Each structure stands twice: as structure tokens, then as C-alpha cells.
């Protein structure tokens, strides 16, 4: 194999090799090591015998390694490596494109369509994408499909045909040919070499990797306090919810169950088999919800200075809870304006009981899909007459309708890959959307790491009742991780925040 170095690596070759020697999980997903003597590429945490330094080539992405001819290690499984968090604005375009393609993996957008969404030219998209990942968008997407297929073959008992379809290959022959070309194994041969997990009778189980440390208890407690009864539940340390994802003219209904496996640094994800046609979308949403692309050591390095304000404000491994359904979360935020977390949950439950789609699931506590924006739009100007009797009055009803109409018409897109600045400007123009609501939606629905709802009551209390202008000035020292600083401040006063207004 040719020894190559991919552009844009976070470390030089010696730094990468040192990380390989240490098996340091903080570098997992930041680069991949191709070994010329074996033709295999690995994650830096791989426990196989350390290769000679002279035989190592380092790549910024799995796709770049495969484009050079390397095939993935069957032991460390590169498809489980966590992704890169989209923080640096210089790289955001390329990473936004990658996130969009990962979510749309089975039905990939043409490059021109993707460029149009990002408001750039095809040529510029290809240029920034290659600079970030070392491959073209098409090569990257092909690798994502192959790695998803490899994960399904290793972790489930799905047939090869089902695997091919779920991973987005329209042709079994095409799938077999590409698989053998890249991995020098047929799908069936790889399955024999792998260790398939025991199947859940109600679904399939996959793993998603993350970088430790991971403050799981803090994150799951946040989600438990805000779970919408009938749609979401947290029992013990397991999160479950209903799912309704539209693909073309079909809505795919199902459920997911997510638990932490800290000894493996992975999330165990079980999902209904009815969701296989939208599997890549489901996995992308789960990554977003549980912030698995976070680089916790970077966050802690920047925010550790918060401990000068008071001991133990900043703790390692903090995550920002994202969302699975941006409209659902945003409506929940609207309902949480000026009321307690408990009261907002009660309003959301009534809305679901009134307008949600009834579902059958294996879990008694999960019975509804959250209403789609179209269902809210159908209420029209009379929305207050429909929602008033369940306690959603005036401004909140009108704000819910305005958001639903904006999403239905496409004038606003709530997406992890959207431009947060543009979306926030549009949200501020909607009735009932003040600074707190806009910042909160940016933090959770858009995955923007530098959102900061500085007018929040809980943040003010955590910062010893400083006035808002002082809080905003202080927060500048925490940029670009102010969303994480927000979570740290809310967690600093857990008992008080349960009944505080604003932190919905």
C-alpha cells in the first residue's frame, strides 16, 4: 500500500502515532490509521498489535482511507467511531454537507441539490468537502453506506438483501460488488467472521460510539424531566420514544430504545424493524439527541475556568441534549415559556392526546406520535378555539401555528445541518419567539454549540443574580461552547431548577 497523508489532520504524523500508542479514546474518530503491511485501517483505540511507525499512514476520515485502498479493521470497527462536532466555522460547510448526506444516505441528494441547500456552488462544495475529508462527496456517501451495511451484518441477523436495502443500495449486485471490492470479503463471509448479537424479538440492536467521558446520568435526567408522556419515557437509565418519519409519501412508524454501555463507550440502540427503510435518518437523529459527536476534552479545556466562579460548576463529559423531532422539541419550548417544567409537560401531554397519532408499541407507556406540523396547520386561524380548552391560550397557540406553517412551507428548516444564524433571524420574526426561545431552539434543535439563553432565570440564579448584560459579557469567555456552559449552569442548581421558570 502507498503511504499517504490526508490533508486537514488534527495532529502531525508523530502526534497521531503517539495517540495510537496510548490508545487514547479522546482521539477516537479524529483520525484513522492505515497500515501498509496489512492493507487495513483502524481507529486509534484499536487493541491489535501496534504497527511499525513506518508502515502507518494517517487519514482524517474513514472515506479517505478507503479511497486510498485500505479496508476497515474487523476488530475495532471504524463504523462505530464517533463523528466530528461541527464547531469550527471554517469547516462547518463541509460538515453540514456530510451530516445531510448521512441522514439522507438511502436516498442521496444530487450534489447540485445539496449545494443549493447550503447556498453555495457545486464547485465550492466539492472543494471544501475534499479539504475537510480528503475525498469527494460521492466517495464519502458510498463509504457511509458500506459502513452502515457492515454494522448491520455484524450486529443483526437481517438478511443480506434487507441489509443492502436498509443501507441504501438499490441493487444487490451493486452492493455485493462494492462490498467485495472495498473489503475483500463478501457480505456473507464478513458475517461469519463477525460476532452477531442476540436478536431482540421486537427489533434490531446496533451500537453508536462516543468519546468518553460521558455525563450520561446528567443527560438522561434532563430528558426524563422533559419527557412528553405518551411519546417519550425514561425508565431507569433507558430512554424510549415513538418515531414517525416521512419518506416520500409514506410515514414510517416505530419506536426506539437507547441505553448507555459505558464499558464499551457506546450507546446500545434498539429500534423497531418497521424503521429499516429510514434507518440512516433514525441513527442520525439519535446521534444528535445524545450529542455523540461531542469532543468532551475540548469543551472541558475551555470551560474549566468556570470553576473559578464556584467549585464544581464545570464537570468533565457534559453533553447538550439535542432532539429527535425538532418540531416537537420547539413546541415543547413554546409551551414552557413562563411556566414550570412540570406544567409545560402537562400541556404537551394534552396536545398529544388531542392531536397525536395513536400507535401500537411493545411499551405500555408509549402510545402516540407527536402531531405533524400539517396537523397543526389544519387548525388554521381557529387554533385558539381548539387548543384553548386544554390550556394552551393566546400567544402560545399562535406561536405554535406560526412555527408549523413556517416548517410546512419550507421558509424555516430546523436541522442540525442548517445555518443557525439564518434560522435564528427567521425565528425571531415569528410571533411569540423571544430571545430565550430562539436560543433554546438553536441549542437543541440546530445543535448549535454556542447558543446561550442569557435571560434564563436559572442561569441568572447560578451566576449569583448578575444582571443580563454582565452575564452576556461573561459568557463571551466560554465561546464557542456556550451551549455546554448553559447545561453546566442549569445542572449547578438541580433542585431549584425543577421548579424554576424558563429552563424548559
The residue-averaged pLDDT of 435-461 equals 94
- Span 177-196, pLDDT tens digits: 999 999 999 999 988 765 54
Least confident of 183-192, 292-301, 352-361, 480-489: 183-192
The ranges of the chain annotated as CATH 3.40.10.10 are: 13-62
Q: Is pLDDT larger for residue 116 or for residue 437?
A: 437
**Burial of 179 from C-beta contacts in 10 A (0-12 / 13-18 / 19+):** buried
The residue-averaged pLDDT of 374-391 equals 96
Residue 501 has pLDDT above 80, yes or no: no
Q: What is the mean pLDDT of the chain?
A: 90
Residue 417 has pLDDT above 90, yes or no: no
Report d(CA 416, CA 362) in Å as an integer: 30
36: DSSP letter: T
The whole-model pTM stands at 0.90
Q: In whole angstroms, what separates CA 63 from the centre of its chain?
A: 20
Report d(CA 55, CA 51) in Å as an integer: 7
CATH architecture of the domain 89-193 equals Orthogonal Bundle (1.10)
Question: Which residue is catalytic, options 33, 42, 294, 314?
Answer: 42
pLDDT of residue 8: 65
Residue 288 has pLDDT above 80, yes or no: yes
Q: Is pLDDT larger for residue 418 or for residue 41?
A: 41
The CATH homologous superfamily of the domain defined by 13-62? DNA Methylphosphotriester Repair Domain (3.40.10.10)
The ranges of the chain annotated as CATH 1.10.10.60 are: 89-193
Per-residue pLDDT band at 91 (split at 50, 70, 90) = confident
* Residue 465: active-site member: no
- Span 198-249, pLDDT tens digits: 445 579 999 999 999 999 999 999 999 999 999 999 999 999 999 999 988 8
Report d(CA 207, CA 12) in Å as an integer: 30
H-state helical runs in 46-171: 62-67, 89-103, 111-118, 122-133, 137-155, 160-166
pLDDT of residue 498: 45
Phi, psi of 26 (to 5 degrees): -65, -20
Report d(CA 333, CA 336) in Å as an integer: 5
* Residue 42: active-site member: yes
SS (HEC) of 375-389: HHHCCHHHHHHHHHH
pLDDT above 90 as % of the chain = 74
- Could you tell me if 152 and 282 are in contact, meaning their C-beta atoms sit under 8 angstroms apart? no
Amino acid at each position: 500500500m502507498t503511504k499517504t497523508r490526508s490533508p486537514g489532520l488534527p495532529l502531525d504524523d508523530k502526534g497521531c502515532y503517539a495517540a495510537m500508542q496510548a490508545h487514547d479514546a479522546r482521539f477516537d474518530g479524529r483520525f484513522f490509521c492505515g497500515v501498509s503491511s496489512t492493507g487495513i485501517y483502524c481507529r486509534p483505540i484499536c487493541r491489535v498489535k501496534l504497527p511499525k511507525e513506518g508502515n502507518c499512514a494517517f487519514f482524517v476520515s474513514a472515506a479517505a482511507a478507503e479511497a486510498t485502498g485500505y479496508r476497515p479493521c474487523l476488530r475495532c470497527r471504524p463504523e462505530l467511531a464517533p463523528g466530528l462536532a461541527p464547531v469550527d466555522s471554517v469547516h462547518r460547510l463541509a460538515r453540514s454537507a456530510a451530516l445531510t448526506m448521512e441522514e439522507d444516505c438511502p436516498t442521496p441528494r444530487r450534489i447540485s441539490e445539496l449545494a443549493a441547500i447550503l447556498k453555495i456552488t457545486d464547485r465550492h462544495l466539492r472543494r471544501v468537502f475534499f479539504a475537510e475529508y480528503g475525498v469527494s462527496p460521492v466517495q464519502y456517501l458510498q463509504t457511509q453506506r458500506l459502513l452502515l451495511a457492515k454494522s448491520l451484518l455484524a450486529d443483526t441477523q437481517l438478511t443480506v438483501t434487507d441489509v443492502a436495502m436498509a443501507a441504501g443500495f438499490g441493487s444487490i449486485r451493486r452492493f455485493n460488488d462494492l462490498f467485495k471490492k472495498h473489503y475483500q470479503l463478501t457480505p456473507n463471509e464478513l458475517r461469519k467472521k463477525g460476532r452477531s448479537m442476540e436478536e431482540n424479538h421486537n427489533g434490531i440492536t446496533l451500537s453508536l460510539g462516543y468519546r468518553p467521558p460521558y455525563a450520561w446520568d446528567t443527560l438522561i435526567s434532563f430528558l426524563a424531566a422533559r419527557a412528553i408522556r405518551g411519546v417519550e419515557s425514561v425508565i431507569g437509565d433507558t430512554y424510549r420514544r415513538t418515531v414517525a418519519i416521512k419518506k416520500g409519501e409514506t410515514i414510517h412508524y416505530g419506536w426506539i430504545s437507547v441505553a448507555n454501555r459505558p464499558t464499551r463507550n457506546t450507546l446500545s440502540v434498539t429500534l423497531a424493524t418497521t424503521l429499516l427503510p429510514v434507518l440512516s435518518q433514525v441513527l442520525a437523529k439519535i446521534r444528535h439527541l445524545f450529542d455523540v459527536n461531542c469532543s468532551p476534552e475540548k469543551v472541558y479545556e475551555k470551560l474549566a475556568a468556570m470553576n473559578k466562579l464556584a467549585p464544581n460548576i464545570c464537570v468533565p463529559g457534559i453533553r447538550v441534549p439535542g432532539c429527535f423531532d425538532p418540531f416537537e422539541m420547539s413546541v415543547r419550548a413554546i409551551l414552557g415559556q413562563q411556566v414550570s417544567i412540570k406544567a409545560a409537560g402537562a400541556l404537551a401531554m394534552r396536545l398529544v392526546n388531542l392531536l397525536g397519532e395513536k400507535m401500537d408499541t411493545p411499551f405500555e407507556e408509549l402510545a402516540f406520535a407527536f402531531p405533524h406540523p400539517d396537523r397543526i396547520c389544519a387548525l388554521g386561524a381557529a387554533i385558539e378555539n381548539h387548543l384553548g380548552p386544554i390550556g394552551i391560550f393566546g400567544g402560545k397557540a399562535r406561536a405554535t401555528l406560526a412555527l408549523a406553517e413556517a416548517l410546512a412551507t419550507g421558509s424555516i428548516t430546523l436541522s442540525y445541518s442548517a445555518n443557525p444564524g439564518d434560522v435564528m433571524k427567521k425565528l425571531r420574526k415569528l410571533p411569540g419567539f423571544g430571545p430565550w426561545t430562539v436560543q433554546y431552539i438553536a441549542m437543541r434543535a440546530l445543535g448549535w454549540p454556542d447558543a446561550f439563553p442569557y435571560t434564563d432565570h436559572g442561569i441568572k440564579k447560578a451566576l449569583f443574580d448578575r444582571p443580563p448584560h454582565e452575564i452576556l459579557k461573561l459568557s463571551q469567555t466560554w465561546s464557542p461552547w456556550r451551549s455546554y456552559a448553559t447545561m453546566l449552569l442549569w445542572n449547578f442548581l438541580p433542585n431549584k431548577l425543577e421548579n424554576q421558570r424558563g429552563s424548559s
